[in-house]
Amino acid sequence: MQSESWQPPPPIVTNTAGTLVSARSIELHGPWGHVFGPLDLDIDLGGVSVIAAQAGAARTALLMALCGRMRLNAGSLTVLGNDKQTTVFAQSSIACVNELEEVRPSVTVRYLVTEQLR
């Protein structure tokens, strides 16, 4: 029996300017109306960043958008030098967000199927 220690893969960094996330005038509107924005945001590489906001749909939607899980209605978002939502989605993950486990009454079957297909 061989035992190998797990090592995380090296980070994929394509932006040399030291910026993890750069967002300009990002906005999100859903079937239930305005969710958040316009918002400008910069997060530097390394360390820990805290997004302090009241619990609810806006905070959850912002975190999902920063991970490529929600399509923005306006603005530009770059994560690790990538501005393509599918690339950001493929290189990120979400954990421990309780609001993602609940299905709100305003969420339609069409919305759930579309999110699952993404």
What's the CATH code of the domain at 105?
A: 3.40.50.300
CA–CA separation, 112 and 106 (whole Å): 11
Structural domain for 41, as ranges: 19-117
Q: Give Cα separations from 116 to 1, 19, 56 (angstroms).
A: 39, 30, 21
Greater model confidence, 101 or 40: 40
For residue 8, is it within any domain?
no
The residue to which tokens 């090296």 are assigned: 10
pLDDT score recorded for residue 15: 45
pLDDT score recorded for residue 75: 95
Share of the chain above pLDDT 90, in %: 25
For residue 2, is it within any domain?
no
For residue 54, is it within any domain?
yes
Greater model confidence, 6 or 55: 55
As a whole number, the mean pLDDT across the chain is 80
For residue 74, is it within any domain?
yes
- Number of domains within the chain: 1
Average pLDDT rounded to a whole number, residues 72-92 = 90
Task: List CB contacts of 53: < 8 A, sequence separation 6 or more.
Answer: 59, 62
For residue 96, is it within any domain?
yes
For residue 5, is it within any domain?
no
